Amino acid sequence: MLESLLALGGLVLLRDSVEWEGRNLLKALIKKSTLRGEQVHVLGCEVSEEEFREGFNSDINNRVVYHDLFRDPLNWSNTGEAFPGGPLGALRAMCRMTDPRPITIALDSLSWLLLHFPCSTVCQTLHTLHHQGSCCGDGSSVNVLGLLHEELHGPGPLGALSNLAQIEVTLGGTVGKASAHILYRKPRHRPTHQTQWFSILPDFSLDLQEGPPLKSQPHPDSHTLPVDPTTHLTFNLRLSKKERETRDSLTLPFQFSSEKQQALLRSEPMQASSHILYEPDVYDDLDPEDPDDDLDV
Amino acid sequence: MFPELNNLLNTTPDTEEQGKLTLLCDAKTDGSFLVHHFLSFYLKANCKVCFVALVQSFSHYNIVGQKLGVSLTAARERGQLTFLEALKSSVDIFFQTPVEPPQPLQFLREASAADLRPLYAFVREALKPGDGGEVTRKPPVLLVDDLSVLLSLGVGAVAVLDFIHYCRATVCAELKGSMVALVHDSGDEDEENDLLLSGLSHQSHLILRAEGLATGFCKDVHGQLRILWRRPSQPTALRDRSLTYQYKIQDKTVSFFAKGLSPAVL
């Protein structure tokens, strides 16, 4: 499903994290889009144009229009070169584009927009962007790819964007292998989940893979132990029949049975076989008085 | 600079990469030894350095620098080092009338949420290519120690991120230089600090994270250093992106070793 993300249309949210960054996947999807003949407009707020175009060949670069909002997004230089209205103005201008060809809009990144503009404004602009294609009347579709850094936002903005998005791709992985968890919301259908392992080749082509090798998969749910711990024990786990009978017939020392009662009664008139010899020494204080005398019991 | 750290990072003063943002962060320990490393590293590499020092005085960095073989006084005199000593300059901000153009630390006087445009203008002015001289042939470097202090001084996290964004646009993208910034990680206590740290992490090419040991204080192992390489120029370079070493800080150097292999316990 990862390769057909763009064919499904709508807003595609790429959620990445510090450990698993999403810009390479964004560039790979942009490359796919250009190979389908679409023009790609990139709203670049986070990296320079030179860094973004690195790795693309000239065919792809010709089809990618980079709106550079990295150099001066807040108009600090006051030279008049900055885009009027800043990044949001540039995004709104994209809403008004009347290009009849199918286009893809890549937002690098949505996080930058969310940090600088209210969430509701960003969501409204995205909604307009997605629907302007279907309202044009000529059937051209607008794909919007938005890169979102998960750790920077609270559950509110993340939830709002999730609701707007048709497809959500969350990046993750294990050691050396990247994965994309894809959540696809079809209208009037239940959402479908899929996890796709992939890697990105140096020319930004997508290489879809099967899961990682089994031995590196962290499986916490297996309860069957690979080694039987009951071998090579220094003690018995089971009793033989004879041992069981001996154990059952054993009388516990403080268990008062009738035999014990008889033994005690018989032994009373006889002298105890053991004596306690006590030699008080100099420091002992032998008080003949009973210390419990003053108790009223 | 610490030669062992250079080996771990695979850099030397002659071959440092350009256009990179290195993020230093520390959690439950003091990561300022990394700042001293990079300061002496770039001065030895003959780069033009702008150092925004918000937490310590000039003499502090000078004394440590001398142990590492660089003289900040000499570097400042020959124009290689531009040093913003915030502890001294902040007094001037409070006890003098505001002048035009605004001073780099003008945000200290402002009651409402300020932006750091004057500080950015100071950095831009300090690192702009000068008129000849051998120091200008190497790419410029911006060091900031540290950014968490700006949050404590009332600047918002987004304003600090914007400041770093503009510095990146100028120093890394336009002038092909490097940037190094230190941020403290307070755990989950401070939301603004977490936002700043996450935002900077996404912008960085290299993250060095000094952590205290989970088991507490130890005489022979002072902490653990995690190195994370991000945004490689080749997308396939996923292997060996993250390394963890333990370290011990000595008088003039820091020794690094693999986890559990401190010479004291072997």
Residue B93 sits in a domain whose CATH number is 3.40.50.300
Judge whether B114 lies within some domain: yes
Q: Is B266 inside any structural domain?
A: no
> Which residue of chain A comes nearest to B200, CA vs CA?
A18
Count of beta carbons in the 10 Å neighbourhood of residue A15:
27
ipTM of the predicted structure? 0.86
Q: Do B165 and A24 touch (CB under 8 A)?
A: no
CA atoms within 13 A on the CB side of A278: 5
**Segment among A54-58, A273-277, B79-83, B156-160 with least mean pLDDT:** A273-277
Phi, psi of B144 (to 5 degrees): -130, 125
Q: How far is A202 from chain B (nearest CA, A)?
A: 6
Cα A173 from Cα A154, distance rounded (Å) = 23
pLDDT tens digits for B107-119?
887 766 678 898 9
**Which tokens hold the place of A64?**
């990618």
Q: Do A201 and B236 touch (CB under 8 A)?
A: yes
Helix (H) or strand (E) holding A108: strand A103-108
B231 and A76 within 8 Å at the Cβ level: the answer is: no
Q: Considering only CB atoms, which chain B residues are within 8 Å of A18?
A: 198, 201-202, 207, 228, 230
> Whole-angstrom Cα distance, residue B168 to residue B213?
33
Report, as an integer, the average pLDDT of B235-261: 78
pLDDT band of B62, cuts 50, 70, 90: very high
Containing B51, the helix (H) or strand (E) segment is strand B49-53
Among B161, B174, B233, select the one facing A54 at the smallest CB separation. Answer: B233
Beta bridge partners of A194: A182
The residue in chain A having the minimum alpha-carbon distance to the alpha carbon of residue B173 is A48
Compute the count of residue pairs across chains A and B with CB atoms less than 8 Å apart: 69
Q: In this complex, do A76 and B173 lie within 8 Å of one another by their Cβ atoms?
A: no
Å from B121 to nearest chain A CA?
9
- Amino acid occupying residue B115: D
Containing structural domain, residue B146: 3-129+136-258
| Residue B162 pLDDT > 60 | yes
Are B264 and B242 in contact, with CB atoms under 8 Å apart?
no
Q: How far is B3 from chain A (nearest CA, A)?
A: 27
Contacts of residue B134, Cβ cutoff 8 Å, sequence gap at least 6 = B46
Q: How far is CA A272 from CA A252, A267, A269, in A?
A: 22, 8, 9
Neighbouring C-beta atoms of residue A22, cutoff 10 Å: 27
Q: How far A120 CA lies from chain B's nearest CA (Å)?
A: 18
- Inter-chain contact A176–B233, Cβ cutoff 8 Å? no
Residues of chain A short of pLDDT 70, as ranges, are 80-82, 98, 132-141, 211-227, 267-272, 297
Helix (H) or strand (E) holding B206: strand B206-211
Nearest-Cα residue of chain A relative to residue B202: A18
pLDDT number for residue B81: 93
Cis peptide preceding A72, ω within 30 of 0: no
Nearest C-alpha neighbor of A2 from the set A167, A221, A157 = A167
Residue B140 one-letter amino acid: P
Q: Tell me if B30 sits within 8 A of B222, measured CB to CB.
A: no
Residue B108 is assigned to a structural domain of this protein = yes
**CA–CA dist A115, B159 (Å, integer):** 10
The Cα–Cα gap between B253 and B39 comes to 14
Q: Which residues of B touch A (CB under 8 A)?
A: 19, 115, 117, 120, 158, 161-162, 165-166, 169, 173-174, 194-195, 198-199, 201-203, 207, 228, 230-231, 233-236, 238-239
Please count the structural domains in chain B. 1
State residue A221's pLDDT score: 46
Q: Taking the mean position of all CA atoms in its chain, how far away is CA B137?
A: 22
Contact B238 A178 (CB under 8 A): yes
Asked whether the predicted pLDDT for residue B183 surpasses 50, the reply is: yes
Report yes or no on B163 lying in a domain: yes
Q: What's the confidence (pLDDT) of residue B83?
A: 93
The amino acid present at B240, given as its one-letter code, is: D
Minimum CA–CA partner of A175 in chain B: B239
**CB A142, CB A100: distance < 8 Å:** no
Q: What is the DSSP letter of B219?
A: S
Question: Which among B162, B199, B234 has the least Cβ separation from residue A74?
Answer: B162
pLDDT at B205 over 60: yes
What pLDDT, on a 0 to 100 scale, did the predictor assign at position A217?
A: 42
Distance CA(B48)–CA(B131), nearest Å, equals: 13
Residue B169 belongs to a domain: yes
Look at A115 and B233 and tell me if their CB atoms are within 8 Å.
no
Smallest CA–CA separation between A152 and chain B, in Å? 6
Would you state the structure tokens that stand for residue A218, as one six-digit string? 């962290």
* Strand ranges for A201-251 from DSSP E: 206-209
Q: What is the mean pLDDT of residues B1-29?
A: 83
Residue A207: C-alpha distances to residues A35, A177, A197, A202 (Å) = 16, 12, 9, 11
Nearest CA in chain A to B228: A19
Please report whether residue B86 resides in a domain: yes
The pLDDT assigned to B21 comes to: 92
Q: Quick check: is B17 in a domain?
A: yes
B222 falls within a domain:
yes
Nearest-Å Rg of the Cα atoms of chain B is: 18
Q: Among B25, B26, B76, which residue's Cα sits nearest to residue B51?
A: B76
- The whole-angstrom distance between B69's CA and the closest CA on chain A is 35
Does residue B207 carry a pLDDT above 90?
yes
The predicted structure's pLDDT at residue A218? 46
From residue B109, how far is each of A255, B13, B20, B87, B162 by CA, in Å? 86, 39, 32, 15, 19
Q: Span B82-89, mean pLDDT?
A: 91
Task: Tell me which chain A residue has its CA closest to the CA of residue B234.
Answer: A202
A72 contacts on B by Cβ (under 8 Å): 166, 169
B202: nearest CB among A24, A70, A149: A149
> How confident is the model at residue A216, as a pLDDT?
42
Distance from C-alpha of B30 to C-alpha of B23, rounded to nearest angstrom? 15
B203 to chain A: which residues are within 8 Å by CB?
46
CA B33 to chain centre: 10
B230 vs A contacts (CB less than 8 Å): 18, 21
Q: CB neighbours of B173 closer than 8 A, spacing ≥ 6?
A: A48, A50, A51, A70, A71, B19
In this prediction the pTM is 0.80
Q: Do B207 and A18 touch (CB under 8 A)?
A: yes
3-state secondary structure of A39: strand
Tallying the residues shown for chain A, one arrives at 297
The one-letter amino acid code at A282 reads V
